[in-house]
Amino acid sequence: MIYYKTEEEIELLRESSLLVGKTLAEVAKLIEPGVKTIKLDQVAEEFIRDNGAVPGFKGYNGFPFTLCISVNENVVHGFPSERELKDGDIVSVDCGTIKNGFYGDSAYTFAVGEVKEEVLMLMKRTKESLYLGIESAVAGKRIGDIGYAIQSYVESFGYSVVRDLVGHGLGRNLHEKPEVPNFGKRGRGTKLKENLVIAIEPMINLGTKRVVQEKDGWTIRTADRQPSAHYEHDVVVRKGKAEILSTFDYIEEVLNNK
Instruction: Give me the pLDDT at residue 67, please.
Output: 98
Give the tens place of pLDDT for each residue, 31-79.
Answer: 999 999 999 999 999 999 999 999 999 999 999 999 999 999 999 999 9
Query: Does residue 174 belong to any structural domain of this protein?
Result: yes
Domain count for the chain: 1
Using DSSP's 3-state secondary structure scheme, residue 99 falls into: strand
Neighbouring C-beta atoms of residue 100, cutoff 10 Å: 12
Q: What is the mean pLDDT of residues 159-164?
A: 98
- Per-residue pLDDT band for 124 (boundaries 50, 70, 90) equals very high
Instruction: Give me the pLDDT at residue 145, please.
Output: 98
Smallest CA-to-CA distance from 160 within 214, 77, 227 is with 227
- The CATH number of whichever domain residue 171 belongs to comes to 3.90.230.10
> Residue 85's domain spans which residues?
7-256
Instruction: Give me the pLDDT at residue 167, please.
Output: 98
Instruction: Give me the pLDDT at residue 203, please.
Output: 98
- Distance separating alpha carbons of residues 167 and 79, to the nearest angstrom: 20
Query: Does residue 2 belong to any structural domain of this protein?
Result: no
Task: Give Cα 89 distance to the centre of its chain.
Answer: 18
Q: How many Cα atoms within 13 Å fall on the side-chain side of residue 235? A: 28
Query: Does residue 66 belong to any structural domain of this protein?
Result: yes
Instruction: Give me the pLDDT at residue 21, please.
Output: 98
Q: What is the largest CA-CA distance in the chain?
A: 48
Give the tens place of pLDDT for each residue, 172-215.
Answer: 999 999 999 999 999 999 999 999 999 999 999 999 999 999 99
Instruction: Give me the pLDDT at residue 1, please.
Output: 92
Query: Does residue 46 belong to any structural domain of this protein?
Result: yes
Kindly give the residue spans of alpha helices, DSSP state H, lying in the chain. Answer: 7-30, 37-50, 117-135, 143-155, 249-256
Smallest CA-to-CA distance from 181 within 206, 199, 156, 154 is with 199
Query: Does residue 193 belong to any structural domain of this protein?
Result: yes
Instruction: Give me the pLDDT at residue 137, please.
Output: 98
Instruction: Give me the pLDDT at residue 74, please.
Output: 98
Using DSSP's 3-state secondary structure scheme, residue 49 falls into: helix
Give the tens place of pLDDT for each residue, 1-34.
Answer: 999 999 999 999 999 999 999 999 999 999 999 9
Smallest CA-to-CA distance from 147 within 197, 82, 203 is with 203
Average pLDDT, the chain: 98
C-alpha pair distances (Å), 68 with each of 2, 35, 95, 153, 167: 26, 16, 7, 26, 15
212 strand-pairing partners: 221
